[in-house]
Amino acid sequence: MSLVATFTVPGAQFLLTRALPADDVRVELDRVESLGCDALALHFWVHGDVAPDTFAERLAADAVVRDVVALDTLDGQVLFRAECIHDDSSLLDLLLDTDADVLTAAGTTDATRFVVRFPSEPAVDAFLTATERHRLPVDGIQTFSAADDFDDTRGFDIVGYLFDLGYFDPFDPPSLDDVATSLAVTPDDVRDAYDRVKP
């Protein structure tokens, strides 16, 4: 059975947050696209006061990045696409080596939070072993069982939001109705997302 894992890494350990020019600028990974055996493309949004050309130059300075393009701008957010060569010691490559799907990743220069679906518990173990081998710090990892057919992005967004709010903290969780109101979804949507991944 697949597992959903949430964890954080220091901003300096993730390619996209490492390139951010200030700690009040945030990056949100939209999707990862395979470009064959030697490269991948990252589609991501940058939120905050940053010139697209400036950020593109900072990111392109990384040795694994071969191209960066600003695709769109919406309400002060910029959508980018970056092509990267595979780097066996990078966080994304370690995830891809275990056949994990990155459902969402968002962060600042301080830290990045990932929500990832692993195909099995041994895949989680393999990822953690690889991060230890490459000395990549992974903090606060939590895993939740996930139904194999639960591939609804909105559901995972809800789960990520619940995690951020501390819903899985048994001492002071917010109500599901409050979460539904905050996300402009129905309480049933929140309950369904929670029921599929609750520990």
State if pTM tops 0.85: no
Q: Which token pair is 147?
A: 């139904």
Per DSSP, what are the bridge partners of residue 142?
Answer: 6
Locate 85 and state its tokens.
């060569």
The three-state secondary structure class of 132 is helix
Question: pLDDT 10s digit of each residue in the chain, 199 long?
Answer: 778 888 999 988 888 988 888 888 899 998 888 887 788 899 999 998 888 888 999 999 988 899 999 999 888 889 999 999 888 778 888 888 888 888 888 888 899 999 888 999 999 999 999 999 999 899 888 887 755 444 455 565 666 656 555 555 544 556 667 666 666 667 777 777 766 655 4
